[in-house]
Amino acid sequence: QVTLKESGPVLVKPTETLTLTCTVSGFSLSNARMGVSWIRQPPGKALEWLAHIFSNDEKSYSTSLKSRLTISKDTSKSQVVLTMTNMDPVDTATYYCARMGYLSAFDIWGQGTMVTVSS
């Protein structure tokens, strides 16, 4: 069974750096065509794609947030990590990690983790 699970802080202060971890099971991050994206959704708003890491460790970032994002993975731990610097209240959202595999779509999603940015 393929699963993804997000973890990280519930509350961060403005200007702080957010670090989120996505722990996957049921597949290997080193398998060809297996990649993981981070996607967020502010309360009551639409989904927004943030970043993706491919099986060969190539990375892709949202052009509007590229300067603030870093995505990485630890294949031995089956984890994908997203860091976002200089957090602002507008970054308050549910953050999801999702797998992109053979279907060229986000076929498996984590449950999401809600992050609030407030002083």
Partner 1 sequence: QSALTQPPSASGSPGQSVTISCTGTSSDVGGYNYVSWYQQHPGKAPKLMIYEVSKRPSGVPDRFSGSKSGNTASLTVSGLQAEDEADYYCSSYAGSNNFYVFGTGTKVTVL
Q: Is 16 in the site for partner 1 (CB under 8 A)?
A: no
Shortest separation between residue 38's beta carbon and partner 1, angstroms: 11
Q: Which residue has the tokens 């670090």?
A: 19
Backbone φ and ψ of 44, nearest 5°: 75, 10
Which lies closer to partner 1 via its Cβ, residue 19 or residue 60? Answer: 60
Pick from 8, 16, 27, 48 the residue near partner 1 by CB under 8 A. 48
Please tell me whether residue 8 binds partner 1 under the rule CB under 8 A: no
32 forms part of the interface with partner 1 (CB under 8 A)? no
Residue 29 CB coordination number (10 Å): 22
21 binds partner 1 (CB under 8 A): no
Residue 64: is it exposed, middle or buried by C-beta count within 10 angstroms (0-12/13-18/19+)? exposed
90 in contact with partner 1 (CB under 8 A): no
Q: Is 38 in the site for partner 1 (CB under 8 A)?
A: no
Least distance (Å) between residue 110 CB and partner 1 = 7
Alpha-carbon Rg for the chain in angstroms: 14
- The alpha carbon of 112 is separated from its chain's Cα centroid by a whole number of angstroms, namely 9
Q: Measure the CA–CA gap between 5 and 22, rounded to whole angstroms.
A: 5
Contact positions vs partner 1 (CB under 8 A): 37, 39, 46-49, 52, 60, 62-64, 96, 98, 103-107, 109-112
